[in-house]
Amino acid sequence: MIGPISLGKMTLEVVSDGTWRLDGGMMFGIVPKVLWERVAPADEKNRILMGLNCLLVRTGRHIILIDTGLGEVRDEKFRQIYAPDRPRPLLQQLADRGLSPEDIDIVINTHLHFDHAGNNTRRHQGRLLPTFPRARYIVQRGEYEHANAPNERDRASYRPVTWEPLQESGQLELIEGDREIVPGVRVVRVRGHNRDLQIVFLHSEGRTVVFWSDLIPMTPHVQKPWIAALDHYPLETLEQKNRLLPQAVREGWLCVFYHDPQISIGHIIEVDGRFHVLPLEGG
Ligand SMILES: [Zn+2]
């Protein structure tokens, strides 16, 4: 567990929605199991442990949540497949920090897959409502359109209950491409994991934090060929890694790894042409 991190005028904190499990082959693509199981051991169903490391950002003027985890799961089949384990779920994590759902000004969904948008909405007295009643929810228009018309390969990744109530309440804010959301908080659209993923950059006083989302979901994915089989455009993931990883090293970006169950945040270093992650102490 890592405490609040200062970034110039901002404060950031990883707030976890717990863990879940996913097939290891799906996460590591062409990498042979003999290699990936050294860093991510598989259980009897070939599943690996996955984190849900959302990021809480206080800019001084706004309180922002980047991605919202898995959310409450009632479906028994889903539990069997994904083994969610949420001993202290996201809303409790926020409450532990003195925050109620009303305090969140902005939610940024990097995309609408169920494991990134799960706490967007919640059930209250039989009704499905936005979890964060005052928040604008920032989503790429292309991703929203795709989520409403998914294909046979990714239909299982979307749960309309995580965005339909936001549309009804008028809280969904669809954007196209790169955008500064508030000063120092910028989203950049990258194709790779899907067509319209948005990664998030935080800048303050010359320092940069990047929330990679599923472009680089876990720390082993800093190795260039480690690309999830789930990615729709794996060669574009590779292109983005070729472009962004050297810059992350050069400029000392602090990186958030959404799905890493152990190392949620760290710096990327390059040793003999290969990238590694140096965990932030306690992170
Ligand atoms: Zn994901």
Q: Give residue-wise pLDDT tens across range 147-204.
A: 999 999 999 999 999 999 999 999 999 999 999 999 999 999 999 999 999 999 999 9
Mean pLDDT, the chain, whole residue set: 96
pLDDT at 231 over 80: yes
* Cα dihedral 105, 109, 113, 115 in deg (nearest 10): -60
pLDDT at 225 over 70: yes
pLDDT at 87 over 70: yes
Q: Name residue 211's beta-bridge partners.
A: 200, 256
Mean pLDDT for the stretch of residues 77-97: 96
CATH of the domain at 212: 3.60.15.10
- Report the Cα–Cα distance between both ends of the chain, in Å, rounded: 6
pLDDT number for residue 281: 75
pLDDT at 283 over 90: no
Domain extent for 13? 5-279
Q: How confident is the model at residue 1 (pLDDT cuts 50, 70, 90)?
A: low
Structure confidence by residue, pLDDT tens digits, 106-118: 999 999 999 999 9
CB atoms within 10 A of CB 1: 7
Residue type, 207: R
Tokens 């290969």: give the residue.
274
Domain count for the chain, please give it: 1
Residue 193 Cα to ligand 1 middle (Å): 9
pLDDT number for residue 3: 86
Residue 79 Cα to ligand 1 middle (Å): 17
Q: Name residue 167's beta-bridge partners.
A: none
Higher pLDDT, 82 or 282: 82
Residue 216 Cα to ligand 1 middle (Å): 10
Residue 42 Cα to ligand 1 middle (Å): 18
54 close to 96: Cβ distance less than 8 angstroms: no
**Least confident among 3-7, 25-29, 268-272:** 3-7
- The tokens describing 28, both together, are 């590591």
Residue 133 Cα to ligand 1 middle (Å): 24
113 close to 171: Cβ distance less than 8 angstroms: no
pLDDT number for residue 2: 79
Residue 282 Cα to ligand 1 middle (Å): 23
Residue 115 Cα to ligand 1 middle (Å): 5
Helix/strand/coil percentages in the chain, nearest 5: 25, 35, 40
Residue 114 Cα to ligand 1 middle (Å): 8
Tokens 């202290």: give the residue.
88
The protein residues having their C-beta less than 5 angstroms from ligand 1 (an ion) are: 115, 214
pLDDT number for residue 145: 97
Residue 100 Cα to ligand 1 middle (Å): 25
Residue 241 Cα to ligand 1 middle (Å): 17
Residue 215 Cα to ligand 1 middle (Å): 9
Residue 116 Cα to ligand 1 middle (Å): 6
Residue 36 Cα to ligand 1 middle (Å): 18
- Phi, psi dihedrals of residue 93, rounded to the nearest 5°: -60, -40
Of the candidates 52, 175, 171, the residue with the CA atom closest to the CA atom of residue 107: 171
Residue 52 Cα to ligand 1 middle (Å): 8
